[in-house]
Amino acid sequence: MSVREFAVLGAGVMGSGIALEAARQNIPTQLIDLSEEALARASSSVERQLQRQLNRGVISDTECQQIQAALRMHSSAQSFDRVDLLVEAVVEDPQIKLSALQRAEQQLPPDAILTTNTSTISIDQLALSLQRPAQFCGLHFFNPVAQMRLVEVVKGEATSAKTLQSCVEFAKTLNKLPVVVRDCPGFLVNRILFPYFHGFDQLFKAGVSFERVDAVMQAFGWPMGPAYLADVIGMDVMVGADRVLEAGYPDRMSYTTNSIFSKLLEAKMLGQKTGNGFYLYTLDEAGQRQREPNPAVWELLQRSDSVNTISDEEIHWRMMLPMLNEALRALDEGVVASTEDLSLAARLGLGFPNIEGGLWGYIESIGWDQLQQQMERYAHLGSLYTYQRSLQG
């Protein structure tokens, strides 16, 4: 299905970013939000981005005008008569999303595809209240939309093959790389990322400094360590995703005591968005963001120092094993179809280190026997550290 006209509900950071990507491809695009204030912010953001690209010579005056002409912003669904595909990108709340989806479904043509940009909410659960669940799926873009090429195309139980293929092709039209995943809590990327954060939480509570964990994981090849990454994501988003995953996988993703992320959220230290999280953020004279460790983080654990009895090798395994085990589970459950798709999603969605073969290549380089040995070594840390594969190979 070729998309003659595209629509996005919700003019927040994600919604406006998705709409702009479609307009760049000269697809007539509507960006709709009930809030005039949100539309004004989206309009200013789009103009700034286009102006920067003009100044750098990335786009020409003609291309800029074409993009501006393709993108219309308004506060009501003026006409969905020609809309072939709509992405709902409102606030990450199940009831608000469902209400927006139901209204959109009533206004769209009978053969149009309806999608949601949710990062956590069950596609199957939302589909239960829709009239045409076969024409519904998830289109999970990543932030910042312009830079992140991965799109998780999330297949619900009722999603038709035609809907799925149309969404895959549409993502490619936007110059994105789609990976089809089956609906489950966290989908694929967040599902394998948050066990990694569990490993970090345990290490920090054991007294390992977050700066040291960041340094060890960056030395392995991650673009940033887990503490810095949590600051970029934001503690509010971290804790929201954690709750979904805890509910979905209570046997292994429940915290025995409050996570350090929830403690930071409680203390209103959300990360970069508040200027303080694991690190303190300031701007230098040139306007560049600077960071330094936040000593207040240790006070949340009622201690002032760190321990050095845990080796760098142990830090590495305690961080990586939960992610590797969850990736194996996702493969065995058919959440992702192939090891190639798994590695692509980990590279593009998580910045997995540049290892030949990606995440799967790393698992193969370790070998199943060595992986089992490490699982036995760290089994006392909980069920995230152990996994008995039903399908080996």
Rounded Cα gap, residues 377 and 381, in angstroms: 9
| Cβ-Cβ contacts under 8 Å for 326 (sequence gap 6 or more) | 191, 192, 195, 384
Cα 186 to chain centroid, rounded: 9
| Residue given tokens 């695009």 in the structure block | 29
Nearest CA to 385 out of 232, 253, 243, 231 is that of 253
Cα 105 to chain centroid, rounded: 25
| Residue given tokens 């009501």 in the structure block | 76
> 140, 198, 316, 380: which one is catalytic?
140
Rounded Cα gap, residues 325 and 366, in angstroms: 13
Nearest CA to 314 out of 213, 173, 168 is that of 213
Compute the 3-state secondary structure of the chain and give helix, strand, coil in percent, each to the nearest 5.
50, 15, 35
Rounded Cα gap, residues 344 and 142, in angstroms: 14
Whether residue 316 lies in the annotated active site: no
Helices 235-248, 189-205: axis angle to 10 degrees equals 110
| Cβ count near 94 (within 10 Å) | 13
What are the φ/ψ torsions at residue 72 (nearest 5 degrees)?
Answer: -115, 135
User: Alpha-carbon dihedral of residues 205, 207, 211, 215, nearest 10 degrees?
Assistant: -100
Rounded Cα gap, residues 167 and 164, in angstroms: 5
Per the CB < 8 A criterion, the answer to whether 190 and 120 are in contact is yes
Active site residues: 140
